[in-house]
Amino acid sequence: DAGVTQSPTHLIKTRGQQVTLRCSPISGHKSVSWYQQVLGQGPQFIFQYYEKEERGRGNFPDRFSARQFPNYSSELNVNALLLGDSALYLCASSLLPRQGPNSSYEQYFGPGTRLTVT
């Protein structure tokens, strides 16, 4: 079975440009979350989407936006890129956004998109 897939693998952009990153969840998974991992740090939560609706947002500026499509794939968009946006962007999928207080809520991560802003 295919895992979470992300495209592109690598991307180089210049300051001020806009970028779109793509994610396809595991088949049957309906929830997608996006994380930013800056070099030397742990991943930080950006967004969660389920059934095409935003279900959670981390502490990121409005330059960051996302959407989810009927097939549960997702796009992360970042406008007006800054040097500090250089990072590995990870997508994770799960069956549901939350499965009740006693559920495990396992997330499965894709390989990431390495974004470099120059």
Subset of residues 10 to 29 that bind other proteins, contact rule: CB under 8 A? none
Selected binder of other proteins within 2, 28, 70, 104 (CB under 8 A): 104
β-sheet bridge partners, residue 92: 33, 109
Q: Does 52 bind other proteins (CB under 8 A)?
A: no
Cis peptide before 8 (omega within 30 of 0): yes
Half-sphere exposure of residue 106, counting CA atoms within 13 Å on the CB side?
Answer: 3
Q: Does 71 bind other proteins (CB under 8 A)?
A: no
Place of tokens 């994610």: 23
Question: Where does this chain bind other proteins (CB under 8 A)?
Answer: 4, 33, 35, 40-45, 48, 50, 55-58, 90, 92, 97-98, 101-112, 114
